[in-house]
A and B are shown apart, each in its own frame.
Chain A
């Protein structure tokens, strides 16, 4: 079974801090994704990566950056945390396949981040 592990289930930080959220997958997946989930808004894609050292902006990249130095690890960075970044953050990974192939995403358990 695919295992996607997020380093913290709950995290409390202060406004202005630099925050790191870590995600590790154990299935040699090429693709990795960061989403945030807010009530009534569903999942919104922040950043994704198709390979080591590659990154692409999603729908809401402002205020975030990412790092993919190793294939198994994808980090989300809040450069200067603000209260409107309080949210549930979900990491996912998937295998790179052809465009006609099945590519389900596999999710971690999420990190509930509170910015005070």
Chain B
């Protein structure tokens, strides 16, 4: 079945760039999403990319999509302590009727 994989942890220093990676198996994915979850809170939609794009930039966030390798990444420039959170990658498959397949989340720790 469909699957989305992420590494579980990432640690960076404040001011550095963070890159969170995600791989997925469904070649018919139409949209891919990045969500952020701060401690004790729900998931907040950060950004998304349509499958016919290979890059999307939104302020400090850059999303790269390699559809051939089914690889998605989220780059956060000038990472701040407020970026410490769990980041989830999710995909919407063709004909999924709104269901998203989520990765297990990458916990980003930002050290001062």
Contact = CB atoms under 8 A, between A and B. Distances in A.
- Chain A contact residues (Cβ within 8 angstroms of B): what range? 20 to 34
A110 B39 CA distance: 11
> Secondary structure at chain B's binding surface: helix, strand, loop or mixed?
loop
B102 interface: yes
A31 B8 CA distance: 29
A107 B88 contact: no
- Chain B contact residues (Cβ within 8 angstroms of A): what range? 20 to 34
Interface string B6-22: 00100000000000000
B29 to A, nearest CB: 11
Interface of B: 8, 30-31, 33, 35, 40-45, 48, 50, 88, 90, 92, 94-100, 102-105
12 contacts: A6-B42, A33-B99, A41-B104, A42-B88, A50-B97, A50-B98, A100-B94, A103-B98, A104-B45, A105-B90, A106-B45, A110-B40
